[in-house]
Each structure stands twice: as structure tokens, then as C-alpha cells.
Amino acid sequence: MTKKKVSTGTHVLGTIQTKQIKKLQSLSQVKKHISKAIKQNGFHELGSFYYQFPGGKGFTGVICLSESHVAIHTWPELGLLTLDVYICNYSKDNSKGCKKVFEEIAKFFEPEKIKVKIIKR
């Protein structure tokens, strides 16, 4: 009998710098973009919660997937956002898809610089 190898997946943690301050301030456009990136890579959004801070202070959001989660927090005053994409390996190795979802969401913000940590969980 072989014991099932325990791996709970891949987590990409990023800090993204951008000059697109308006994109960091308003969540109206990005929600659709995030949902599309998740769906196009074969993952499943179960639900989400987003919050728009008042007075141009940015937004924050958490998206719950069958395959774990995505989280986004923006700081327009610093010209940056943090982005987490954690995709589990429940049925198969999803590490490539995890990185693709991260890249596709990041692209929306026209990054000047991206700092990334990739963690096997």
C-alpha cells in the first residue's frame, strides 16, 4: 500500500507596484477581470466579498474557490497592491494554473515591478 502524498498546493504571494493609481482606487473593473482569470484557467469561484474604502483609499477583496482562494488588497497612496493566489492540488497538480491566474490578474494593473514568493503548501 502506498500512502497518499500530502500536498495542499501552491501559493503565490505578490507585491505589485504600478502607476495606475485609478485602477488601485476602484474595484468596479477588476472584479470581472479576476472572475475571468479564475474561470479561464479551469478553477471555480464559490463566492467573494469585496470592500471599497471611501475617499479613494483603495479596495480589498477575498475570493473563495473550490480550489482555495484569491485575495487582493490595494494601497493607492503607496502605488501598490498585494495579490495572493492559492490553488490546492485536490484532484491534480494545479501549480501552473495557479501562476497563470496570478499573472493574468497582475497584468490588469500594468505593473512597473512585481515581487513574488511561491510557496508549496
- Residues that bind a second copy in the complex, under the rule CB under 8 A: 4, 6, 8, 11, 13, 15, 46-51, 60-66, 68-69, 71, 73, 75, 78, 80, 82, 84, 86, 88, 117, 119, 121
Whose cell is 492540488? That residue is 89
User: Which grid cell sits at 107?
Assistant: 497584468
Please say which residue, 29 or 51, places its beta carbon nearer to a second copy.
Answer: 51
User: Which grid cell sits at 54?
Assistant: 471611501
84: Cβ contacts below 8 Å, ≥ 6 apart: 11, 12, 13, 14, 69, 70, 71, 72
88 is catalytic: yes
Total number of residues shown for the chain: 121
Please say which residue, 51 or 56, places its beta carbon nearer to a second copy.
Answer: 51
Q: How far is the CB of 78 from a second copy (least distance, A)?
A: 6
Catalytic residue among 26, 48, 64, 73: 73
Phi, psi of 92, rounded to the nearest 5 degrees: -160, 175
Please say which residue, 62 or 114, places its beta carbon nearer to a second copy.
Answer: 62
Active site residues: 68, 73, 88
